[in-house]
Amino acid sequence: MSTANKRITVYTESTPNPEAIKFVADVMLSEGALEFLSPSQAKDAPLVRDLLGFPFVQSVFVSKNYITVRKNDTLNWDEIITQLREFITDALNSETPFFTKPIASIGAEVLEKVTDAHPSRNFGEIEQKIISILEEYIQPAVESDGGAIALKSFADGVVTVSMKGSCSGCPSSTLTLKAGIEALLKRMVPEVETVVAES
């Protein structure tokens, strides 16, 4: 992944989820949003696979130029954050490619592609409007917090969304869902009655 002229640097950003940290690189890593939950899912993403080998790492979310690592509660971030940042930086500066297969085939085979949670399904006009609102108003804020959101379904006034990355398991995600996302969608799409996260 390294470039001959420039060493890739990585810095960290906190997220609203106390168990997730965002590692931001100064290069693009992925065109899609991908969440990996086990080393076997990440066989075609060597850095991600190795991160999931750490006993305290629960999931790895990759999007654009960042990697969000969610840990379990066995260690505090101050005990591991420097180690992880150096590990990611060294891996990105090695000759190992970030993905060993095209991203589309990785997503199709082993993990949920968050950005394709609504892949060319025959959604109706209301669903398309919901998707448009999520992408324009909600996704940028969620992304800045190291996560992703996508529409899974809409039926009988209930919008079901998929929340990944730092949003997964975040204590404040329920508040965000109800006070932010639900309120916005209900205001802009009268057919929406409630918003729930996919369980």
pLDDT tens-digit series, residues 142-167: 887 888 888 888 999 999 988 787 77
Three-state secondary structure along 27-96? CCCEEEEEEECCCCCCCCCHHHHHHHCCCCEEEEEEEECEEEEEECCCCCHHHHHHHHHHHHHHHHCCCC
**CATH fold of the domain at 114-197:** GMP Synthetase; Chain A, domain 3 (3.30.300)
Separation between Cα atoms, residue 1 and residue 45, nearest integer Å: 12
Lookup: tokens for 193 = 């009655």
Q: Would you say the CATH fold of 114-197 matches that of 10-110? A: no
Pick the CATH number of 10-110 from 3.40.50.720, 3.40.190.10, 3.30.1370.70, 3.30.530.20: 3.30.1370.70
Enumerate the domain spans of the chain.
10-110, 114-197
Among the residue ranges 120-129, 164-173, 179-188, the one predicted with the least confidence is 164-173
What type of residue sits at position 131?
A: I
Q: Which of 34, 6, 195 is nearest to 108 (CA)?
A: 34
Sheet containing strand 30-36, edge to edge, reads: 10-14, 20-25, 66-71, 57-64, 30-36
Q: Which of 50, 61, 41 is nearest to 84 (CA)?
A: 50
pLDDT tens-digit series, residues 32-58: 888 899 998 899 999 999 999 999 999
**pLDDT score of 113 more than 60:** no
